[in-house]
């Protein structure tokens, strides 16, 4: 009896996900770092390259599919979530990733983003947030800070900005996280957590636009200030931050407060991060933390909740149940059903 030995599977590398296209972002743009991180993480996911699909809308970030050696769609402004939902619904076996910007996803595409998240479609969303419209040369965006002076708001923006994480949590997204373009190690780990999530995974990536909004996140990325202004969330670990890791966050009634460790205050008194908390209110509080004076900006996984079925699974289950009861159906019969007219 003879046996056939299959050739060993060659592991994928970062180079396998790079294309021959010239990467046409401005020198120094944070998009390069995000692209590098994604191309590094994809080979580690154990998924065939032909099973990846990268979808984008319009904006600097939306050039992403051209630079990923996978299947991809460059769609129209704000409609990437709708196209990605269609792909995932009909081909749940595919790994669908969506690259979008703060303007694309939260302005013209805001409604699509909200409904994609509430449906829990199994799509991984990378929202590049540079707080500006970069592709169209520097207008304020839905995440630009209040009183932002830009080409479209020369006297300062009057709009209160969206908080992308709060918006996603409010839409009951089952996975919400944040990272930063230049925090490469953290960004890669965050992407891996998102990839492992079964439902909608929403990752806000703070990134710099060195041409039209340089230094948008300088208070977080500047090396000396980083430890004081950023708190890294790790499931099961207390919320500690500070250059000497001597500050923490604890609950006081229904609110959070900053405490100094020492003088009887220890890490046992602090809030322990629970990314799997049933109630979204906890993650929402975390997302709002940075608005308060003295509080750091949280990065990492704010919420990861698996107890919600994916939209594509329940949709296909419903279709199969109907087919089992009523048959496969006849499109011609359906089109001719009810009132029909013959035009002569």
Segment 243-295, tens digit of pLDDT: 999 999 999 999 999 999 999 999 999 999 999 999 999 999 999 999 999 99
pLDDT over 90 at 337, yes or no: no
Which pLDDT belongs to residue 3?
64
What percentage of the chain exceeds 70 in pLDDT?
97
pLDDT over 90 at 125, yes or no: yes
Which pLDDT belongs to residue 329?
86
SS3 242: coil
pLDDT over 70 at 2, yes or no: no
Cβ(271)–Cβ(238) under 8 Å? yes
Length of the chain: 344
pLDDT bracket for residue 8 (50, 70, 90): low
* pTM for this entry: 0.93
pLDDT over 80 at 209, yes or no: yes
Provide the b/e sequence for 52-71 (b: ≥16 CB within 10 Å). Answer: bbbbbbbbbbbbbbbbbbbb
Which pLDDT belongs to residue 339?
80
Residues 143/36/235/230 CA torsion (nearest 10 deg): -50
pLDDT over 70 at 231, yes or no: yes
Q: Do strands 297-304 and 175-180 pair parallel, antiparallel, or not at all (unpaired)?
A: antiparallel
Q: What is the pLDDT of residues 18-69, one digit of tens each?
A: 999 999 999 999 999 999 999 999 999 999 999 999 999 999 999 999 999 9
**Any bridge partners for residue 101, and if so which?**
128
How deeply is 78 buried, as exposed, middle or buried, from its count of CB atoms within 10 A (0-12, 13-18, 19+)?
Answer: buried
Which pLDDT belongs to residue 335?
83
pLDDT over 60 at 131, yes or no: yes
Distance CA 29, CA 60 (A): 10
Distance CA 132, CA 104 (A): 11
What percentage of the chain exceeds 90 in pLDDT?
90
Distance CA 33, CA 39 (A): 10
Q: In what order do the strands lie in the sheet with 247-252?
A: 240-241, 247-252, 255-260
Distance CA 193, CA 200 (A): 12
pLDDT over 60 at 144, yes or no: yes
SS (H, E, C) 60-125: HHHHHHHHECCEEEECCCCCHHHHHHHHHHHCCCCEEEEEEEHHHHHHHCHHHHHHHHHHCCCEEE
pLDDT bracket for residue 336 (50, 70, 90): confident
SS3 230: strand
**Any bridge partners for residue 56, and if so which?**
74, 99
pLDDT over 70 at 6, yes or no: no
Distance CA 253, CA 250 (A): 10
Which pLDDT belongs to residue 1?
56
Per-residue CA distances from 130 to 53, 135, 209, 215, 281 (Å): 24, 11, 6, 9, 26
Cβ(21)–Cβ(64) under 8 Å? no
H or E element at residue 227: helix 223-229
pLDDT over 90 at 333, yes or no: no
Sequence-separated (6 or more) residues with CB below 8 Å from residue 189: none
Sequence-separated (6 or more) residues with CB below 8 Å from residue 187: 33, 34, 37, 179, 180, 181, 205
């Amino acid at each position: 009896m003879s046996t056939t030995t299959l050739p060993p599977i060659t592991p994928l590398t970062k180079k396998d996900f790079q294309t021959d296209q010239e990467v046409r972002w401005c020198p120094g743009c944070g998009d390069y770092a995000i692209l590098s991180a994604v191309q590094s993480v994809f080979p580690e996911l154990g998924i065939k390259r032909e099973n990846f699909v990268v979808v984008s809308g319009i904006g600097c970030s939306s050039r992403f599919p051209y630079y990923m050696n996978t299947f991809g769609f460059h769609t129209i402004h704000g409609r990437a979530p709708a196209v990605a939902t269609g792909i995932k619904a009909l081909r749940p076996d595919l790994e669908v990733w969506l690259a979008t910007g703060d303007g694309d996803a939260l302005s013209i595409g805001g409604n699509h983003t909200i409904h994609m998240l509430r449906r829990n479609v199994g799509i991984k969303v990378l929202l590049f947030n540079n707080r500006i419209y970069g592709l169209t040369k520097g207008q304020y965006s839905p995440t630009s800070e209040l009183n932002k002076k830009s080409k479209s708001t020369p006297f300062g923006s009057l709009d209160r900005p969206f908080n992308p994480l709060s918006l996603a949590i409010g839409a009951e997204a089952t996975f919400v996280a944040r990272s930063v373009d230049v925090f490469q190690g953290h960004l890669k780990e965050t992407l891996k957590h998102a990839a492992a999530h079964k439902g909608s995974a929403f990752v806000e990536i703070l990134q710099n636009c060195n041409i039209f909004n340089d230094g948008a996140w300088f208070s977080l990325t500047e090396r000396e200030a980083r430890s004081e202004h950023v708190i890294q969330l790790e499931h099961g670990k207390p919320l500690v931050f500070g250059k000497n890791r001597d500050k923490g966050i604890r609950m006081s009634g229904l609110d959070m407060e900053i405490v100094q460790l020492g003088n009887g205050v220890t890490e046992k008194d602090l809030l322990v991060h629970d990314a799997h908390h049933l109630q979204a209110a906890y993650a929402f509080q975390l997302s709002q933390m940075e608005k308060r004076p003295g509080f750091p900006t949280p990065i990492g996984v704010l919420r990861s909740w698996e107890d919600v079925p994916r939209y594509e699974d329940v949709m296909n289950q419903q279709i199969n149940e109907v087919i089992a009861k009523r048959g496969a159906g006849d499109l011609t019969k359906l089109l001719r059903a009810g009132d029909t007219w013959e035009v002569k």
